[in-house]
Amino acid sequence: MCGIVGVADFAGRPISRTLLRQSATLVQHRGPDGQGVWEERKGETNVAFGHQRLAVLDLSSCASQPMRNSGCVSQGTASPLVLVFNGEIYNFVEIRKKLEADGAMFTTESDTEVLLSAWREGGAGCLGALDGMFAFALFDGELTNLVTDPFGEKPLYVVQKDDGVYFASEPAPLIEMLGLTFDPTESELAAFLTLGFIPAPATGFKNLQLLQPGSHAVVANGRITRITRYWTPDVPVVPGGKPAAVTESDIDDIAVAMIESVRVRLRSDVPMVTFLSSGVDSALVAALAAKELSAIIPAITVGFPGVGV
């Protein structure tokens, strides 16, 4: 995981790069391999991004963020797109091949550059093709786009203020930068006492919200002008009568889907390890990686004194 912070369409005083770096440092534990900041001013409109990098794909500095154009080399006409991205696009290799067939050129081996190129090619229409866990902010020269993955695996917290929109991977930078205080409403307290947590988008902090899964928020003139859900799960259909037995064909389909899922998640330029949680899922992932994909990955687990395994 990486850490991202930013201010979108900030009118008035210039954005302090020192403050931006300090805010990014508050999520340094998410990405200790590098830090980058970027700012653009257009009259009274300013946009600034900060990024803490955890390098997994393409460890070179050309794949660092914020990323603009194509890694270390601009391809053709300079593009206004600027991206800060947390997560991983698992099918970036397949998406890259399609983009290359359409004439796109790449200078890195990163999924970040593929995401940037996919947006340049199709705008928000590319979101439906992404298989991954991600939260990102992308400035297209006019608008700032804030996007979360379909299941909300990678969080993105947002604050709407009079002077602009602030966002971060965690609440801490926003709490520090804006002086937010924990002041839950009665309904949020009731939810916490009932459920043990405060359901999104609420957080217990005034104006601080968690962007919902599968969401695309557009920021213009210092305001969130539109939030759309680009993905929603299908409504489950529960058949009546006696449940049908699972067929051999069903089992084969599930096995193929599982193997493909594990295969694309093994893409990495750093050593990997499997964390065995003592459940069926992690053991199944390790078994598929070893048997079907011939990938022998070290495994670890956690034990506690006095607790049987």
Consecutive sets of 10 residues in the chain, 309 residues long: mean pLDDT of each?
88 72 88 91 82 94 87 60 95 97 94 96 95 96 94 95 92 92 93 93 93 95 92 85 88 93 92 87 89 85 74
pLDDT at 72: 64
Q: Is the pTM of this model over 0.85?
A: yes
pLDDT at 70: 59
For residue 286, which of 268, 302, 273 has the smallest C-alpha distance? 273
pLDDT at 307: 67
pLDDT at 94: 97
What share of the chain has pLDDT > 90, as a percent? 64
